[in-house]
A and B are shown apart, each in its own frame.
Chain A
Amino acid sequence: MLKNFFSGLGEDIKEIGTTFAEGDIKTRLSFLIFGLGPLLRGQIVKGLAYLAVQIALIWYVIAFGWNYLSKFSTLGTVVTHKENRITVYGDNSFLILLFGLLTIIAFIAFIFIWRENVRENYNEQNLLKEGKELPSNKKVLLSLLDSNFHKTLLALPVTGIFIFTVLPILFMICVAFTNYDKNHQSPTNLFTWVGLENFRQLFKFGSHGFGSTFLAVLGWTMVWAFFATFIDYFLGMAVAVMINKKGIRFKKLWRTILILTIAVPQIVSLLYISKMFATDGLVNGYLMKWGLIKSAIPFWKDPMLARIMIIVINIWIGIPYMMLIATGLLMNIPAELYESAKMDGANSVQMFRHITLPYMLFVTGPFLLTQFTGNLNNFNVIYLLNKGGPQSMRMAENAGRTDLLVTWLYKMTVNDTNYKMAAVIGIMVFLVTAITSLVVYNMLPSVKDEEGFQ
């Protein structure tokens, strides 16, 4: 892959060279002023577009970005100070990092657009050389609704995702290499680069390191995702089979009742359930009133019990969802398969094992994978039910026994404003998700069919 990239780059540079060497004056001037060539050749729309982009980028860098970029290597040096009782704010490391990053991206974009601009000139020149006509401006514009329609469609979404997803993610990756935390909080205090220090902290074992806590949280995250995915999967399928069985009546009623858990916002249902199972809550109250137990069951206090409860309550949410999917899919299994199996004397359990299950596993492979990675990051169920508790002296940085990496990350961000470690954990979550996906994805049978899953 790397080899391809470099050979591609080599060819690119060569092409730029020949463009300049063979280019007329219009083309050569375009190397400096974007879109000049197309403009002179009557390609007003394209030419103006290139020129506008160039002006915008240069304006951004000079008027705004350079100020931040120049401080990027230190993230600011001017400290906030007092003049009498007036506070004079110094450099804001946060903004320097954010807009410095944006400026770097602007540079990259500049080079990229420049390359496109050169290529455009090259193509136009070649067309003219071959004696062909350049497309009219109207045609160029109209192509945005036809052959170039994807550009029109994707312009807005790609921009949106760039600003509100790509840029913040790049920013947070950078934060993982700084000391941005509660003691280095903009705008009053500066933060700066610290290299791999935070990662070292994460893998430091012993009393003040994160190492053992990180592994414990990671372990529970994986265990949780596994159970949450597969228990729901099989139980949901079983329920679907039951409801869809011939001779069972009120199918719609059963389905509707179960679907309620999808429809009611989790903030309402899960918060209520959380209170219901509190040591002084409804369930314990009745169990004690009826004399079934002597002292309250610590549903959320005991680490093991809390974990089991969370998985069980997740079934309450997960079954209906899986049931819906299974219902749809079960209809697709050819009825002849069952008929012939019946002829061979298979009972319903055997039929389930040999026909239903393999079929379902085959079709829902990718779905299971997304469910699994979704559960790795299942914030609501954990946080609304138990906030990741109970905490323990044996774990660092306030991690609780039921904390997932993602809830731990949330607590670090919101409660402790420990952004640097949150960023590190975030990168770890990404790695875990990516590696799991990659490994499982390549094992899936249905992946072989390329168009099926993209």
Chain B
Amino acid sequence: MKKKFVAALVCAAMAVGLLAGCGGNKSESSSGGAAAPAESGGTEAADVDYGTGEIKIWVADNIVDFTKDTIATFQKDNPQYAGYKVTVEAVGEGDAAGNMITDVEAGADIFGFAQDQIARLVTAGALEEVAPDNVEAVESENDAGAVAAATVGDTLYAYPLTSDNGYFLYYDKSVVTDPSSLEKIIADCEAAGKNFYMEVNSGWYQTAFFFGTGAELTYETDDTGKFTACNASYASPEGLLALKEITELCGSKSFQNGSAIGEATNVGAIVDGTWDAETAQQVFGDNYACAKLPEFTAADGNNYQMSGFGGFKLLGVKPQSDENKLAVCDAIAAYLSSGDVQLARYEAVKWGPSNLEAQKSDIVKSDAALSALAEQLAFTIPQGQYPGDYWTLATSLGDSVISGELTTGSSDDDLMAALQKFQDTCNSYVGK
């Protein structure tokens, strides 16, 4: 049932894309650019014999069907690639990087992943550079943040897929009266006996506080994915304010650590991303609403806007030892990340596009969740490269608060000691 529905959507979207492509010259050249060798090169590409082979693709479970159908269309339109048997497997973005690193050889040829894994993948030799022919198109068609996310050192390593990997606030209109203030949200939730969810033991959500008060944490990498410099200022008055606010939040009886609305119970409000928009609508029903993240009043009496990461999902190609196969992989990856397909993907599963053209389309613009995200993005920093260890370290910091090791009652010295250790450990990842 679901499958058929997705398939129909894909076909419809394809048709729209193709029609639009035929109609206007402008969109032909811009949105078709990334997939240029595939679309425009009908005559010349047909001369090249790409041979036969197998290509394995890993994507998140909810776009498996979409990807299968898209590839089928692609191969039908580009018979020169039809010699390759493409299989699509459901491997979540979280697992994909780990599995690729465990055994590159058995890993997928093309795989989707969240950008925080990119440096790790490059170091482990699991990511091939984007084909030189495609670089220009990718860089010009996607938003700057997405391109930066896909770049390690000076090299473009992946094809941007979405630029919706950020978070904002979903809430229940009947519970939360003023979504612009964290204190009020919590007070409303407490009064209504509802839960406020935020995953503060995740390095991704945690930064909403730290970046909000002005603490910094960024890394620089070289072309091989090695970290060359760390700019961290968590052990600072700003960092202290942020950590205090986290202890404050965790002290509330309404607070729950989590960021998946489908796993949450009795939700009043939740900090979550666009991928859960549909679920959030089901959970909140008529009271569904979303907004940018609130401000919070810190211990120094000032108000700070919650910040955080704006992140991206990427599509990577594995290093290959067969030139033809690499060319086919590049063509497929370029196509799967092209504007039309991004738009179709948005329509099928609501993944917000990173393609500038697709972002301008009316349906994307009118999406409530994406609008809230766009509003929030103004306050976030584009997520650069972070070492894999950072994420688990952040979990330790968050858990230290959740488990009551650090509380509102902790002395500044204790809090500072934890932050100092955090910062030192962050610094220690450089050069490894």
Contact = CB atoms under 8 A, between A and B. Distances in A.
B220 interface: no
A401 interface: yes
Interface residues of B, number: 49
Interface in A161-200: 182-183, 185, 187-189
Interface size of A as a range: 35 or more
A296 B251 CA distance: 11
Nearest to B253: A295
Nearest to B419: A393
B388 A416 contact: yes
B123 interface: yes
A188 B404 CA distance: 43
B389 interface: yes
Given A187-B104, A296-B253, A302 B403 contact: yes
A326 to B, nearest CB: 37
A400 interface: yes
* Residue among A298, A391, A400 with the highest chain B CB neighbour number at 10 A: A391
Interface string B395-415: 111011011110000000000
B395 A398 contact: yes
B232 to A, nearest CB: 15
Given A207-B424, A393-B396, A280 B195 contact: yes
B236 interface: no
Interface string A2-39: 00000000000000000000000000000000000000
Contact of A285 (B129, B266, B421): B266
A76 interface: no
Interface string A392-409: 111100101100000000
Contacts of B105: 187
B301 to A, nearest CB: 27
Given A85-B326, A280-B195, A303 B403 contact: yes
A398 B396 CA distance: 7
A188 B405 contact: no
Contacts of A401: 403
A292 to B, nearest CB: 14
A437 interface: no
Contact of B125 (A80, A288, A295): A80
Interface in A271-308: 279-281, 285, 288, 294-296, 298, 301-303
A280 B399 contact: no
A275 to B, nearest CB: 9
Contacts of B395: 391, 398
Interface stretch (B23-31, B48-56, B59-67, B317-325): B317-325
Contacts of B177: none
Contact of B402 (A207, A281, A301, A398): A301
B159 interface: no
Contacts of A86: 320-323, 326
A415 B403 contact: no
A415 B424 contact: no
A296 B124 CA distance: 43
B321 A87 contact: yes
Interface stretch (B256-264, B276-284, B290-298): B256-264
A98 to B, nearest CB: 14
Contacts of B422: 393
A288 B131 CA distance: 58
A446 B105 CA distance: 53
Interface string B178-208: 0000000000000001010000010000000
B387 to A, nearest CB: 10
B124 A189 contact: yes
B73 to A, nearest CB: 27
B264 A85 contact: no
Contacts of A296: 253, 256
A417 B125 contact: no
B40 interface: no
B418 A189 contact: no
A400 B399 CA distance: 9
A88 B321 contact: yes
B328 to A, nearest CB: 13
A333 to B, nearest CB: 47
B323 A294 contact: no
A298 B326 CA distance: 51
Interface in B115-132: 120, 123-126, 128-129, 131
Given A86-B326, A87-B320, A392 B266 contact: no
B104 A280 contact: no
Nearest to A414: B98
B257 A301 contact: yes
5 contacts: A187-B105, A285-B266, A298-B404, A301-B257, A390-B400
Interface of A: 80, 84-89, 182-183, 185, 187-189, 207-208, 279-281, 285, 288, 294-296, 298, 301-303, 389-395, 398, 400-401, 414-417
Given A85-B131, A303-B405, 18 more contacts: A85-B128, A85-B323, A182-B124, A182-B388, A185-B125, A188-B104, A188-B125, A188-B319, A208-B425, A280-B266, A281-B265, A298-B404, A390-B400, A392-B400, A392-B405, A394-B400, A395-B396, A400-B399
